Amino acid sequence: MNSLRSPLAAQIVQWLVAPGDVVRAGDVLVILEAMKMEHELRAEAPARVLELLYADGEAVQAGDALLRAEPVEASGPAGASAPPATPADTATGALRADLQRLLRRQALTLDAARPEAVARRHSLGQRTARENIADLCDDDSFLEYGALAVAAQRNRRSEDDLIANTPADGMVTGIGSVNGALFSAERARAVVMAYDATVLAGTQGMRNHQKTDRLLGIALEQRLPVVLFAEGGGGRPGDTDMPIVAGLHVGTFAAFARLSGQVPVVGIVSGRCFAGNAALLGCSDVVIATRASNIGMGGPAMVEGGGLGRFRPEEIGPSGVQHANGVIDVLVDDEVQAVAAAQHYLSFFQGRVGDWRAPDVQALRDLVPENRLRVYDTTAAMAGLVDAGSLLPLRTGFGVGIHTALARIEGRPVGLMANNPLHLGGAIDADAADKAARFMQLCNAHGLPIVSLVDTPGFMVGPDVEARAQVRHVSRLFVVAASLRVPYFSVVLRKGYGLGAMGMTAGGFHAPAFTVAWPTAEFGAMGLEGAVRLGYRKELEAVPEGVERDALFERLLAQQYANGAAVQMAATLEIDAVIDPALTRDWLAKGLVGAKVSEQRAGRFVDTW
């Protein structure tokens, strides 16, 4: 090195060497200042300083020579300056003051900083928000956003108080990896948001609204699933730092609702979830709740304020009520099971898995009783068709006339629904139709093929049923199915009668990618018994009532049964095949290979209800 030149127009702040000094490569020689920023110029090679060409405080131009020097051997003595500083002093292990301040501040946001609050939470048999997130996300994968936020209450509380008692403003938000052992890092990413019930009762503050909105925007832009731990008391009236009156302009609810159909959205509740927290929960695709949960659009204070009486929190929206009415899709015992259910649910939208185990398909041959009037459990058929351990039933307390579930067939995610002969003989009532229609929309939105197991005498009828708007409710099956973009497969297990069977087959037997039947299947425009009574009324009335008429009825019924047998339906090409029940899974697996999900979004339609 013979000289050192200035890389920019600047002012010399300080020389760190003097004539005669020997410097090493990397030693700082001089500090320059330009645009109020200091620049260190370092030696490129070992050298001895001969002359400084400018003094401290003088201005230099780009390219000006600043000193003269001569090369020396690399083993020469150290010069006046040291190597660049690092955050930690390697000799003492001490951290820089600014980093120490940050680490101390970050530590105050963690559970360990609030042992009494954590102990109270644990005494209720519940976990903290951070414990739930740690269980949900893969190890060390969670990147927290907004951890240093505190409640917007500086006008009424000290900074130390806010830091100690309102960490993260009562909501932990970020992005983590869920099921990363099964799927790629890209597919495993998810937005996770958890209201912290130990902070201001998990209420919605202005700062945590801002945090929520930030993460919801990222979820929509990057198409990331969202998991919301929704426990909390709704809006918080105590925030004073922002000049607002009612706070009804916040965008959180619209932003959360905007995710519907775009990304999977999971809501989880343990404990009390009221008002604004419940509104977000209700926008979720699926609600997972513990038996100890209470969910309501208004908590006790709001109910009493509305002049509607005084109630304990446990009396408002208990899990038993909300499971039976369809609010809760998956009811579990505790938060451990809730998190496991959320991981299971999300896995269906993260891709196909290679590690799967087939069930005993031979058992399907004896599933439907030989006595055509004997009921049986179609959930056994669902479990017998899908990969072992993959079945996740949804909305089990509501619309029990139709079972709905997510599952896998040879590792591929599918939606599965089946009529329930144990309820109304499998007839479809309003609740069952609503449940199935919404389930089809869920599968359609996220690209899951649908498998429908049919055993129904049709739509439920009668004056009492019609008083519940049956016409509108059951027609949802046709309107929703007409806009499906996902493959649809139908298997008729036993009864395939009338409009109800058509509703279970996407609008008609030729609408699915295939419609097949088991040998036990029977078909007709309506139930066979009713068809005989109506179609042969004159013949039956012409025979004396009693044994003779009963015998004629049985002969006519047997004839109808023979005419509507599965083989006859296949012979007239009204269905695609009659198959050995043990081969159903194979049929579905092969059908799924060839069927495609349309990239085009579902067409517009006006929901009949």
Report the Cα 422 to chain-centroid distance in Å: 31
Contact 404/393 with Cβ under 8 angstroms? Answer: yes
Lowest mean pLDDT among 303-307, 336-340, 435-439, 506-510: 303-307
* For residue 602, pLDDT beyond 70: no
Share of the chain above pLDDT 70, in %: 95
Q: Which segments within 214-280 are labelled E, that is strand?
A: 226-229, 265-269, 272-274
Residues 6+ away with beta carbon under 8 Å from 3: 65, 66, 67, 68, 69
Concatenating the DSSP letter of every residue in 518-542 gives: -TT-EEESS-HHHHHHHHTHHHHHT
Contact 450/443 with Cβ under 8 angstroms? Answer: yes
- Whole-angstrom distance, CA of residue 597 vs CA of residue 2: 70
- Whole-angstrom distance, CA of residue 593 vs CA of residue 365: 24
pLDDT digits (tens, 9 = 90+) for 287-315: 999 999 999 999 888 888 888 999 999 99
pLDDT digits (tens, 9 = 90+) for 380-395: 999 999 999 999 999 9
Angle at 139 between CA 138 and CA 140, to 5 degrees: 115
pLDDT digits (tens, 9 = 90+) for 1-41: 678 999 999 999 999 999 999 999 999 999 999 999 999 99
CATH topology agreement for domains 125-347 and 361-521+565-594: yes
Residue 338: the pLDDT is 98
Backbone φ, ψ for residue 368 (5° rounding): -80, 125
- Mean pLDDT across the chain: 92
Helix (H) or strand (E) holding 305: helix 300-305
- How far CA 63 is from CA of 10, 44, 52, 71, 171, in Å, comes to 11, 16, 15, 21, 54
Question: For the residues 114-136, what does the mean pLDDT come to?
Answer: 96
What are the residue boundaries of the structural domains of the chain, listed by start? 3-83, 125-347, 361-521+565-594, 527-564
The reported pTM is 0.87
CATH of domain 3-83: 2.40.50.100
In one-letter notation, the amino acid at residue 403 is H
Task: Give the 3-state secondary structure of 329-383.
Answer: CEEECCHHHHHHHHHHHHHCCCCCCCCCCCCCHHHHHHCCCCCCCCCCCHHHHHH
Helix (H) or strand (E) holding 194: strand 189-195
Residues 6+ away with beta carbon under 8 Å from 121: 127, 128, 197, 198
Residue 538: the pLDDT is 85
Question: For the residues 503-526, what does the mean pLDDT come to?
Answer: 94
Q: Which long-range contacts (CB under 8 A, 24 or more apart) does 69-77 make?
A: 69/1, 69/2, 69/3, 69/4, 69/23, 70/2, 71/1, 71/2, 71/45, 71/46, 71/47, 72/22, 72/46, 72/47, 72/48, 73/46, 74/24, 74/25, 74/46, 76/22, 76/24, 76/46, 76/48, 77/22
- Residues facing residue 268 across a β-bridge: 229, 288
Residue 82: the pLDDT is 47
pLDDT digits (tens, 9 = 90+) for 177-204: 999 999 999 999 999 999 999 999 999 8
Residue 80: the pLDDT is 45
DSSP state of 157: S
pLDDT digits (tens, 9 = 90+) for 76-116: 444 444 455 555 554 556 888 999 999 999 999 999 999 99
CATH topology of domain 125-347: 2-enoyl-CoA Hydratase; Chain A, domain 1 (3.90.226)
**3-state secondary structure at position 435:** helix
pLDDT digits (tens, 9 = 90+) for 56-77: 999 999 999 999 999 998 754 4
- Residues facing residue 195 across a β-bridge: 171
What is the homologous superfamily of the domain 361-521+565-594 according to CATH?
Answer: 2-enoyl-CoA Hydratase; Chain A, domain 1 (3.90.226.10)
Residue 245: the pLDDT is 61
